[in-house]
Amino acid sequence: MDKYNIHSDFEPYAKTTLPLNPLLLPILNKLIARSMNKFNSPEGMNVTTEVIPGYKDGTVELTIIEPGLRLKCIIPRGPFMGMI
């Protein structure tokens, strides 16, 4: 908690570390970006890209995939159904 100002709600997670080497993250980000560029959306889907401000004046590129038409609501079935 010394390095970053973390809200007290997240104290249990303050000491959590990633299960992989942080040096791999830039490589994984590029691979994910490359795979998203090759993504072909199904017919009837709208794909939009937005850029939002990020940490330390950086930017975050978002790819938003949503139905193009007004479709019926899909109600999930399964163990988490009561949580929605």
Write the pLDDT tens digit of every residue in 2-61. 676 777 877 777 777 767 787 888 898 888 888 877 777 777 788 888 999 988 898 988
pLDDT-derived band at 80 (thresholds 50, 70, 90) equals low
15 within a domain of the structure (yes/no)? no
- Tell which residue, 60, 66, 72, 62, has the closest CA to residue 41: 66
At 43 the pLDDT is 79
Q: How many domains does the chain have?
A: 1
Q: Within a domain: residue 79?
A: no
Instruction: Report yes or no on 81 lying in a domain.
Output: no
Q: Is residue 32 part of a domain?
A: yes
Backbone angles phi, psi at 67, to 5 degrees: -65, 140
d(CA 1, CA 11): 8
Range of the domain at 56: 21-67
Residue 42 lies in a domain: yes
**Residue 1 pLDDT class (50, 70, 90 cuts):** very low
